[in-house]
Amino acid sequence: MSKFQKKRGKASPEVSTASLPDIIFMLLFFFMVTTVLRDSEMKVEVTTPRATELTKLEKKSLVNYIFIGKPVDKFQKEYGTKARIQLGDKFAGMSDIPLFLERHRSKIPESQHGGIKSSLKIDSDVTMGIVADTKTALRKAGQLLINYSAKKKD
């Protein structure tokens, strides 16, 4: 009789986890490359004017963007070629501005409400009438910090 017996088939081999970090980083890299971070689709053409004295916005999370320009080609049949206002992802009128500002304000902590700015991205060919009306609607809604977007002059 033998004192030592062989253990047969009782132990199963463990799964190797050596390549797990490589797989995780490949997936992370894949999703970083393929994710689109654009908030809204541009429905108006905006060619901002050029300027020399520019300052960069500090906290972009506190900025709400208002685009003013003529509709892009695919929307011109429905909306015409006259300058329009785009708030977020849709065309809007002057009466929609207070609600747009309130929605943005509700997403931001109350302690930072004083730093909320409205950035006007206006096409250089737009007449000042719609810009003045937009500024008046912003003022009536209590939004007094306004920024005009421009590109740096060469």
Global pTM? 0.73
Phi, psi values for residue 50, rounded to 5° = -100, 145
Domain that includes residue 95, residue range: 50-152
Is residue 67, in this structure, part of any structural domain at all? yes
pLDDT over 80 at 5, yes or no: no
pLDDT over 70 at 126, yes or no: yes
Structure tokens at 51: 């300027």
Q: What is the pLDDT of residues 27-46, one digit of tens each?
A: 999 988 888 766 667 889 99
116: confidence class by pLDDT, cuts 50, 70, 90: very high
d(CA 118, CA 23): 43
Q: What CATH number is given to the structural domain containing 56? A: 3.30.420
**Residue 63 pairs with which residues in a beta bridge?**
117
d(CA 55, CA 37): 24
Q: Average pLDDT for residues 63-78, to the nearest whole number?
A: 93
Is residue 94, in this structure, part of any structural domain at all? yes
